[in-house]
Chains A and B, each alone.
Chain A
């Protein structure tokens, strides 16, 4: 079953939102690579240095995710331009 063609051009806001969701998808990949980097040098490294590295990466991941999550929810998270069409199902429980 063929889908209706997707629009090529989007309004600036929807465009931004999609790029933020791309960033959200990228986060775990970035995190994984950062956490696997010690494999290259950790056979001679000290634990104290390792603590600094791991916790810095950790803190950066948290900060990055917070920024992206904030941006993504700035736009209404329940109305997505293309990704999602429904919004009623989750809205009733939505008193924040």
Chain B
């Protein structure tokens, strides 16, 4: 067997290695070369401080006693990690934006930067963590004891070992944990060291497990057979304990100060969480993979009565595997030391920020503006706190005698720290949670934990007498520590968790509902709950009261002259000022406070700034102002939205108009060439026929007549064209005079049809006039109206391609107006041309039949407009269809 001295030497060497790693990582980070130091894997491994020596050794012992129940301790955290998107992501984001320094700071900051809550959480954390540290010291000494020979196994020697371990840990933690009082409370060296320790832990446990399965046993199937043959084969699952343990470990995973420290505070980058979300459950999976095999092999191989908690160590030793035993020892040692280091840093931060600094501040009667560096006070407070925490742990270890009472303390600590859960989770999901509610919940939980869990854990006759267990304090049976409210026979752990968490949550909710939060609380509440909505900041300060110089003086003392001056200078530059003194705007105060909070915690930072600004930071008026601003912004954005919709409409109209103009311009070009052609053709024939008439004296009378008629016809065509143009121009200029008179629609139509028949002489064209309504009389210019009708009939005549053309003229009533519809059975007008046909010079097709120049419909529209009616194209009638809307008789009469 390895000698004690050799083991001590190995331990010292191992610790020296960790010092080197931490030192190297710190140096590297200082030089700004993060590299893989900042990888998500280091983050994941650092989370493994969840697995302390209690779980390293104790899991096997637990499995040997109660089988699979040991796994619950790992399944709870697995669920939390798997649900990273819900809770942890939120916590990390809040921690980053609000510069949270510890879980106490988180709770205090959420509930209006209340230091009372900070103190309460700190006390709870100290009470819950000190025994836990004692437990680590115990497991290290126990594992040392395994290597000692019988007679040397005296309690005094063990105490010496524990003392040296505690001293070593204190030195390490002070060296690497309080080197820098940074704006960001991160410790690269320590994180790196615990990542290394995480690997050692995992490798050690895997090695022992593989040794048990493949060396002692002969492979997995043999191991399954051994499990079936062992005493823990029956999975006596106790539903209440199973559920409680999963809940408890999940809650503790979030609420343990050291876990909060590594998950939230030491988090380098939010994205690391997405890797840790599956990688850390994987770590837990591997850690627990061999626990049952080791337990089963241990139970069968080791002599009766040997401590199953130490199977991990004793199993290799029994088979004389010194190297493996040493590795297992280092694994346990790593588990213990990494937990103690991080836990003491977390506790020291809380104690210095929430207890020492406020007291120190209040003793400084001159206030915060006095010059001098306050950083040494903070660092001193932290160092003293670290020593204090370790001394407490050591004393606890000594006084409790290091006996079996300690073994149960792990779960007791879990229950205690889980009391923070309602305030923490309620705080980040429920805006209505208040400071009073959180304090009431925490106090209730703390009291119930003390009474039902911590005090009974010392055993009957320990702190509480057997009589209290049996009959309750002062004989009040309702208050028996393990049977509250007369409900007996519950498992003590389940009993304690059930009552403490339930009543804690109830008090938290009820008092939150009944109390009224201060303005600052409500601001913080909104910021925390809506962290993904407004991550930038919440307005905290009203400006004006503070002097920039006082603020600079104070900031220098907390974060050091260079950093403080840097902040002030950059702020001044941002405001466009020279020098170090910016205007004290609320934004600046907010920023400054958050920078300070990174060093001394939100509550202290707030208190210090408040000392200078003279107290009240947020008034109801400020809140109203903030709300008003938000309202204005909202309205403004609504207006913008409306405006942009309007602009879009206008743009669409403009676009349409533009398209129309472009099309018209093309049409016009076409018309110009066409009208010159139209004018030219008759002119040419007139000229040539008149030349013939002039030149040929001997022409017969028939020929002469024929030529003269041609000349006459061409002249008429020219005249008609010019008439049309003139007509249109007159109409458009509004110079037309109307001969108004009473007439029936039928009469006007008769005239138009007759004129058409005379003009064209076409017989095969059928005009149907399904009668009713034609008798109605209207007051209008009948000649002009019949001009419109003639135009429409002529159009139908010209453009209807149907072999048996038919035109239906219907007098109807639509929308309270009398209308005349002209429907033919041709092809109709294509949709894209429908908007253009009423424009001047517009032509649907290029074949210009019968001398039209594209003015007819334009004239119709002008006429109808003058008459007080209108003309539109009716789509979807099977052919071309025009609707003439007659003038409103009543309007005319009036």
Q: Which residues of A contact B (CB under 8 A)?
A: 1-2, 4, 21, 24-25, 27-28, 31-32, 35-36, 38-39, 42-43, 45-51, 54-55, 58-59, 61-66, 69-70, 72-73, 77-78, 80, 83-86, 89-90, 93-96
- Contact residues in A for B278 (Cβ distance below 8 Å): 62-63, 65-66, 69
- Name the distance in Å between A28's Cβ and chain B's nearest Cβ: 3
Pairwise interchain contact A46-B85, C-beta atoms closer than 8 A: no
Pairwise interchain contact B232-A93, C-beta atoms closer than 8 A: no
**Which one of A32, A61, A80 contacts B281 once the chains associate, using CB atoms below 8 Å?**
A61
Pairwise interchain contact B235-A47, C-beta atoms closer than 8 A: yes
Pairwise interchain contact B78-A47, C-beta atoms closer than 8 A: no
**Nearest neighbor of A45 in chain B, beta-carbon distance:** B235
- Contact residues in B for A51 (Cβ distance below 8 Å): 68, 227, 292
**Which one of B84, B224, B274, B532 contacts A84 once the chains associate, using CB atoms below 8 Å?**
B532
Pairwise interchain contact A93-B228, C-beta atoms closer than 8 A: no
Q: What is the interface residue range for chain B against chain A? A: 35 or more
Report which residue of A48, A85, A90 has the largest number of chain B beta carbons within 10 angstroms of its beta carbon.
A48
CA of A20 to CA of B713, assembled, Å:
83
- Contact residues in B for A50 (Cβ distance below 8 Å): 67-68, 235, 237
Q: Which residues of B contact A (CB under 8 A)?
A: 34, 38-40, 67-68, 71, 75, 78-86, 93, 96-97, 224, 227-228, 230, 232-237, 239, 242-243, 246, 268-271, 274-275, 277-278, 281-282, 285, 289, 292, 532-536, 627, 630-631, 634, 637
- Name the distance in Å between B285's Cβ and chain A's nearest Cβ: 5
- Name the distance in Å between B116's Cβ and chain A's nearest Cβ: 29
10 smallest A-B Cβ distances: which pairs? A28-B83, A24-B85, A42-B237, A86-B535, A66-B278, A84-B532, A69-B274, A65-B278, A50-B235, A83-B532
- Contact residues in A for B627 (Cβ distance below 8 Å): 1
Pairwise interchain contact A31-B82, C-beta atoms closer than 8 A: yes
- Name the distance in Å between B458's Cβ and chain A's nearest Cβ: 32
Pairwise interchain contact A59-B235, C-beta atoms closer than 8 A: no
CA of A15 to CA of B676, assembled, Å:
63
CA of A13 to CA of B495, assembled, Å:
49
- Contact residues in A for B242 (Cβ distance below 8 Å): 36, 38-39
Pairwise interchain contact B281-A65, C-beta atoms closer than 8 A: yes
- Contact residues in B for A1 (Cβ distance below 8 Å): 627, 630-631, 634
- Contact residues in A for B38 (Cβ distance below 8 Å): 93, 95-96
CA of A64 to CA of B68, assembled, Å:
23
Q: A28-B86, A90-B96, A94-B269 are in contact. Are A39 and B228 (CB under 8 A)?
A: no
**Which one of A36, A65, A84, A89 contacts B533 once the chains associate, using CB atoms below 8 Å?**
A84
CA of A31 to CA of B246, assembled, Å:
11
Known A24-B83, A47-B230; 20 more pairs at CB < 8 Å: A28-B83, A28-B86, A35-B246, A39-B242, A39-B243, A47-B68, A47-B228, A51-B292, A54-B71, A55-B285, A61-B281, A65-B281, A72-B274, A73-B271, A78-B271, A85-B534, A89-B97, A90-B270, A93-B269, A95-B34
Pairwise interchain contact B78-A61, C-beta atoms closer than 8 A: yes
Pairwise interchain contact B274-A47, C-beta atoms closer than 8 A: no
23 CB < 8 A contacts A-B: A21-B85, A27-B85, A31-B78, A35-B79, A36-B243, A39-B242, A47-B235, A48-B227, A50-B67, A50-B237, A51-B227, A51-B292, A54-B71, A55-B289, A58-B75, A58-B285, A62-B82, A65-B82, A65-B278, A77-B274, A90-B96, A90-B269, A96-B269
**Which one of A35, A39, A47, A90 contacts B67 once the chains associate, using CB atoms below 8 Å?**
A47
- Name the distance in Å between B111's Cβ and chain A's nearest Cβ: 21
- Name the distance in Å between A86's Cβ and chain B's nearest Cβ: 4
Pairwise interchain contact A2-B67, C-beta atoms closer than 8 A: no
- Contact residues in A for B234 (Cβ distance below 8 Å): 46-47
- Contact residues in B for A96 (Cβ distance below 8 Å): 38-40, 269, 271
Q: A1-B631, A28-B86, A85-B533 are in contact. Are A48 and B34 (CB under 8 A)?
A: no
